[in-house]
Chain A
Amino acid sequence: MGIGPSSKETTLHHFRDPLTELLCQDKSLDFLGVLFQGTPENYAHKQFVAGRSGVYAEMMRADGAIVEIDSWGNSHVDFAAAIQALGERNIPVVGLSFVGNQAAFVVTNQYMDCIVDFNKTSLGIETCMVGQNTVDELDARKAVALLKHKIFKKFPRKADAPVTEKILRKLRLNTYRIQEVQLAGRTEIQGKRLLLDQGGLDEIAAHYPEIAAIKLSLIQPGADNFFINSILDFSPLAAKVSGFPGEGVSNVLDGVKVMLTAVEIGGFQPANIGSSEGMFRERVCLGRRGTPDSGEIIIHCDVLLAEGEGRTRTGIFAAHHACDELLQRARFAVKGMDAALAVHKQDFYDIARPGGLRVLVVKLVSGLGCMYDTAFFPDEPAGCLGSRSVMELSNNIQIPLTPNEYRDGMLHSLC
């Protein structure tokens, strides 16, 4: 993460977002979905976009909303404006943000009376440790509890309403355990062993004028005493087997995760507000929703960018694309797994719960330009190929995702 390393959410975090998980499980809630919006660089556009979040929430007849952000500083202008837009429409709102000391709000308003700070450091600062200052289960629980409290206080009748359930959509997620990964001359999954083709890296690099070279390596569990370039992302290795995003069947590997790092020729680290290059053990907070667990194997894709391309959207996007091209070879194997071998079979549902509290999540993601952008609807869960950029698709205007679409990896972090 080159941008606010410790507070930035990775693609892996989005794939297993704790707030979405909690809201889906709570039977008293009619969880409407996640409304993503970008954070533009122009003040007037910031106000306009954030204002629309209030309008959309009202159109959805939301009883309450949680506004969540993984950046701060100028983005708190968008955060404050979104909360205000909801508040002015009489929609109770709870905010989730990294604040600590360093990110104390630069603007506030009367509706920002209920904020959960997910700072995790004693100094309250943005650190260079990826995953450290991100939302965990407890933060999500606090936010949901506070929102319920606010809604009941404002609309006491809601507490007594009977709740019914109607299943709209089912997503089956099959998880396969991997215990060993080897770099080889072909890609194949043999039981719990993943063979990964290490050839053709130069050919992939050649697809992108922004990229000079790509390196592929493995990090075994426990190994942490080595240097890495600035981390661009962590992601799961998942593949769509059948159906549209958010329904049908997806497969995901457990025991292995992907780390993308990059550096420019000349040594510039693609970073902005602190950089996560350095010794692995000091730069990755393992065990968070957005980072691998300590016992997992990491497939490490390190991209060498042309000079200057670590500071552009196109360069960063190219690094993510190239990494995804590489992973795509493995995805064919992941797609073909025998369902009988899955260690977990989880069914996720989009459920309408008439009578429940109608709760919307408004999620603010990067959309500022430079390195700041976010990708939506990739071809594969948590992938990048085929995705659209929030800046190009909509100029940061809101994009709604159903809970299952979000859980099916339809958002890819780019910073």
Chain B
Amino acid sequence: MRKLTVSHDLQSEIFAPTTPPPVWTPLTKALNKCKVGFATAGGIHLKTQKPFHTAGDFTYREIPIDTPSSELMVTHGGFDNSDINKDVNAMLPIDRLRELAKEGFIGSLTPVLIGFMGGGGNVEEFRNRTGPAIAKIFKDAGADIVLLTGGCGTCHRSATIVQRAIESAGVSTIIIAALPPIAKQQGAPRIAAAHVPIGSNAGEPNNKAMQTAILKDSLNLVGEMKEFGSLKLLPYEYRHNV
């Protein structure tokens, strides 16, 4: 036997995380009676608000529901922002939400939506402070459903942490993910995912039909999904040239 340069029973230096315990709030109302909120980890904020720190930031911004989409912008590293720059609805579909409320597909919208920057996010801060704070905003607003999106990889993790906080507060949630295995492993209660690049979770920029379809399908799934960790791939595909 050749002499080895290593000792026996060496182990990884890294703790491998496992999926956290289930959190679940069943949806008990019809969609057209529900008050719906939206939170994105994709770094969306008002142009007048302080931009996020791209190396890691656990603060959040309140976005009034009547904000014109032209007044929103993105500050987020870790993925190509060009789609959001073309149309912020690709990450935070604020125009589509208002249309769905107007047509009566959903009952109403919460007075504020939430933007935060989940990239490189501090897990403890999101779990212990930011998540519960955002959950309280939606709970106090009387939300029945909150949808979420995330941008990059760690951003999906931060989004899922916040999603779990909201679900734990008694509001049904679903994440519209571009990287569904991250949401799954981090313990998202419900996951929808279309075939889109990171940054266009909610559909191709300026493609109103696709964005509406992804949003409607995701809302329907909130009631249809019966098990923690349910994941459904949505039949919409978009590729972009970068």
Contacts and interface: CB of A to CB of B under 8 A. Distances in A.
Given A102-B120, A126-B120, A273-B55, A369 B242 contact: yes
B14 to A, nearest CB: 4
Contact of B152 (A74, A113, A275): A74
A254 B196 CA distance: 47
A41 B2 contact: no
A159 B185 CA distance: 38
Contacts of B196: 42
Interface string A347-370: 000000000000000000000111
Contact of A77 (B56, B119, B179, B195): B179
Interface string A101-139: 011111110001111110000000110100000000000
Interface stretch (A12-20, A146-154, A167-175, A287-295): A146-154
Interface string A260-285: 00000000000111110000000000
A191 interface: no
B187 to A, nearest CB: 12
Interface residues of A, number: 48
A10 interface: no
B154 A72 contact: yes
Contacts of B155: 73
Given A75-B153, A107-B185, A271-B77, A370 B10 contact: no
Given A106-B182, A273-B55, A370-B242, A99 B120 contact: no
Contacts of A106: 153-154, 156-157, 179, 182, 185-186
B79 A74 contact: yes
A331 interface: no
B153 A370 contact: no
Contacts of B78: 73-74, 272-273
A113 B10 CA distance: 10
B55 A146 contact: no
B206 interface: no
B199 interface: yes
Interface in B35-62: 54-56
A313 B81 CA distance: 12
B80 to A, nearest CB: 4
B39 to A, nearest CB: 18
B199 A41 contact: yes
Chain B binding site: helix, strand, loop or mixed by DSSP? Answer: loop
Interface string B201-242: 000000000000000000000000000000000000001001
Interface residues of B, number: 47
Contacts of B152: 73-74
A77 B81 contact: no
B179 A145 contact: no
Contact of A102 (B77, B79, B122): B122
Interface centre among B123, B153, B182 (most CB of A within 10 A): B153
Nearest to A145: B6
- Give the 6 A-B residue pairs with the shortest CB-CB distance, closest first: A369-B242, A74-B153, A73-B153, A274-B55, A370-B80, A273-B77
Interface of B: 1-2, 4-6, 10-17, 54-56, 77-82, 119-120, 122-123, 152-157, 178-182, 185-186, 193, 195-199, 239, 242
Given A28-B2, A42-B198, 15 more contacts: A41-B197, A74-B78, A74-B153, A75-B153, A105-B16, A106-B157, A106-B186, A108-B185, A112-B12, A115-B14, A126-B120, A145-B6, A159-B2, A273-B78, A372-B80
